[in-house]
Copies of this chain bind each other. A is one copy, B any other.
C-alpha cells in the first residue's frame, strides 16, 4: 500500500471512529468529517472538517454503515449538516478510491461515480463472517438480561445455520445451553450435529418440543402462530433477521410471548471491534488490488 497516505472518514457512528483509530494506529493520516457533535473525540484526527476538504486531502474515502437512512442524504448521526447524495457530491470523488456499503445504491446517485474506484466492503465474505460475532454477542447479552433463568441449562433453538447461526450456536454451547439448530439442507444438518448441537429440520421444528429461548436468524416467516403455539408459549424470542424479520410479532403479542427484534447489534454491542473489522476488510481489498 505504498501509494496511499491519507484516509478520509465521512459520516457514521462510533464504528467509523474506531475504524479511523485502527487505521491511524498503522501509521496513516486520517481525516474525519461529519462529527461536529463529538468534537472532543475527534480532536486526535485534527478535528472534524468540511467533507469537501476531507475528500480533497484523502487518497481513500470511507463511507458509513449504513450508507443512508433516508435514501437522500449520507448517514451522519454526529452532525447537524446534511450531505446530499447527488451528482455534485459524486463529482468530488473523481479519481479517488471509495469504500462503502451498498455500492449499488451509491453509484445510482450520480454518473460521476463511474470515475471513482468504488468498492463495497460490506458484501465481502470475511466482513460478514466477522460481523456475526458482535451480532451473536449482542443476542446473548439480551438473552441473559431478559430471560429469567440462566442460559446454562436452558433449552435454546437457533433457526438457520448461516454465519450468525453458526457463531451463535457455538457461543450458546460455550455458555452451557442445550442447543438445537434448525436447517433445511442435509449437509447443514450434518454440520450441526458435528458442532455438538441437536439438528432439527425446518419442517420438523413444530415437533421439537418447547424452548426457553428461540433465536431466529432466517429472514423468512419460520415462526408463525401455528409453530409458536407448539414450541414457544413460554419462550423468549429474539429475532436477529433484518426487517421485517422472521417472526409473526402480532400473534406473539396476542399469545403473550415476549419478543425482541434486535437490529444493528454490531454497532451497539461492540463499536470498537466493528470498526476494526471495517478497517481489516478495507485493507484486505487494498492489498489484493495491489495499491
Closest B residue to A139 by CB, please name it.
B144
Give the number of copies in the complex: 4
**A134 and B150 contacting across the interface, CB-CB below 8 Å:** yes
C-alpha spacing A276/B193, complex, angstroms? 15
Q: Which of A182-207 contact B (CB under 8 A)?
A: 185-187, 189-191, 193-194, 196
Q: Is A174 an interface residue (CB 8 A)?
A: yes
Whether the pair A270, B148 counts as a contact (CB closer than 8 A) is: yes
Asked if A173 is at the interface of the complex by the 8 Å CB criterion, the answer is yes
| A196/B176 in contact, CB under 8 A | yes
Q: Could you say which of B134, B144, B170, B270 contacts A138, with CB atoms under 8 Å apart?
A: B144
Closest to A281 in B: B186
Residue interface mask A246-286, B partner, CB < 8 A = 1? 00000000000000000000000111110010000000100
Instruction: Kindly report which residue of chain B lies nearest to residue A132, judged by CB atoms.
Output: B194
Check if A141 is an interface residue, CB within 8 A of chain B.
yes
CA–CA, A190 and B170, complex, Å: 15
CB of A140 within 8 A of chain B?
Answer: yes
Contact A137/B125 with A171-B176, A196-B176 known, Cβ cut-off 8 Å: no
Q: Are A175 and B175 in contact (CB under 8 A)?
A: yes
Chain A interface mostly helix, strand, loop or mixed? helix
Does A153 belong to the interface (CB within 8 Å)? yes
In the assembled complex, the CB of A286 is this many whole angstroms from the nearest CB of chain B, namely 13
**Closest partner residue, chain B, to A135 (CB atom):** B150
Chain B residues with CB under 8 Å of A242's CB are none
A221 interface contact, C-beta 8 A: no
Verify B187–A125 contact, CB threshold 8 A.
yes
Q: A133-B150, A144-B141 are in contact. Are A176 and B190 (CB under 8 A)?
A: no
A145 at the interface (CB under 8 A from B): yes
With known contacts A137-B152, A187-B125, A272-B148, A171–B175 Cβ distance under 8 A: yes
CB < 8 Å neighbour of A272 from B149, B196, B273: B149
Q: Which 3 pairs across A and B sit closest by C-beta, in order of nearness?
A: A174-B174, A125-B187, A141-B144
Question: What are some 27 contacts across the A-B interface (CB < 8 A)?
Answer: A14-B148, A18-B148, A125-B190, A126-B187, A126-B190, A129-B194, A132-B194, A133-B153, A133-B176, A137-B150, A137-B151, A137-B152, A138-B144, A140-B140, A145-B269, A148-B272, A150-B273, A152-B171, A152-B273, A167-B194, A170-B174, A170-B194, A171-B174, A173-B174, A174-B174, A176-B194, A176-B196
Binding site for B on A (CB under 8 A): 14, 18, 124-126, 128-130, 132-134, 137-138, 140-141, 144-145, 147-153, 167, 170-171, 173-176, 185-187, 189-191, 193-194, 196, 269-273, 276, 284
